[in-house]
């Protein structure tokens, strides 16, 4: 098998904040997905993220596989990403079947100026972190609406918790100043269940403070598997703008 493409420099595409309708937003996501797909070369092992923007990248890579004969191996971060990859013709493998990942491509719910992220609206952040840690280069693709001055401005922090422990963890998060809400299914009764069989507490903090300290604190709570704060993983961010351009930012 060929090598895995891992990118250790962040790519960030900056989008200006305009009132945009859904069609314009989807066009922005598609542009950034097409852009990052061009970074993939034959022989790479590519991490395939979860979410709407990452899905555009997966489809674009799939087209290159069919139309150009691109040979890659994808490592999906969720069942949904795996299903999409197989549908578009990308051969897939698990993290245990590859030694490294050359390039991991994923989305984000928020991106701050230091390329720190909140992830997890797709409830796949635990697997996404594993893939990101294996990657030589971890590239985040996003639309302009995901840019924030400080993490937590718009989105809560997802905390993946053992169902047995969700009430004790909820109380601990409240003591720490958070406002946790158990994430419920949209088309089913009961909580959202992750691929690991865990539940999600979405935690809103009045003031995030130092995201690194918050991330460290969350991992110490008994019953918590992982959370959606990504502090050091990102190497590049690509952000699609409303004007049709893509801004590339790298961690220095």
Provide the annotated active-site residues. 128
Contact indicator for 221, 180 with CB cutoff of 8 Å: no
Is the separation of the CB atoms in 126 and 233 below 8 Å?
no
- Count of C-beta atoms within a 10 Å radius of residue 144: 20
Strand residue runs (E) in the chain: 45-48, 73-76, 101-106, 110-111, 117-118, 135-143, 157-161, 178-182, 199-205, 224-227, 229-230, 236-240, 246-250
Written as six digits, the tokens of 75 are 């490592």
CB 11 within 8 A of CB 252: no
Asked if 248 and 238 count as a contact pair (C-beta separation under 8 A), the reply is yes
């Amino acid at each position: 098998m060929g090598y895995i493409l891992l990118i250790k420099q962040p790519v960030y595409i900056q989008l200006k904040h305009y009132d945009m309708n859904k069609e314009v937003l989807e066009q922005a996501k598609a542009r950034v997905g097409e852009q990052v797909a061009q970074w993939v070369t034959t022989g790479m092992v590519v991490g395939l993220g979860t979410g709407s923007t990452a899905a555009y990248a997966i489809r674009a890579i799939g087209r290159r596989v069919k139309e150009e004969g691109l040979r890659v191996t994808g490592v999906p971060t969720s069942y949904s990403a795996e299903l999409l990859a197989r549908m578009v013709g990308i051969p897939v493998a698990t993290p245990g079947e590859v030694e490294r990942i050359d390039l991991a491509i994923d989305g984000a719910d928020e991106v701050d100026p230091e390329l720190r992220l909140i992830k997890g609206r797709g409830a796949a952040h635990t697997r996404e972190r594993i893939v990101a840690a294996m990657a030589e280069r971890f590239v985040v693709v996003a639309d302009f609406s995901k840019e924030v001055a400080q993490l937590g401005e718009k989105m809560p922090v997802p905390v993946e918790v053992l169902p047995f422990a969700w009430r004790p963890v909820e109380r601990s998060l409240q003591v720490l100043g958070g406002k946790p809400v158990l994430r419920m299914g949209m088309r089913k009764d009961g909580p959202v269940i992750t691929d690991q069989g865990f539940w999600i507490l979405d935690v809103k903090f009045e003031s995030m403070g130092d995201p690194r300290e918050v991330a460290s604190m969350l991992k110490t709570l008994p019953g918590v598997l992982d959370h959606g704060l990504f502090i050091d993983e990102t190497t590049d961010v690509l952000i699609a703008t409303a004007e049709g351009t893509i801004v590339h930012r790298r961690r220095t």
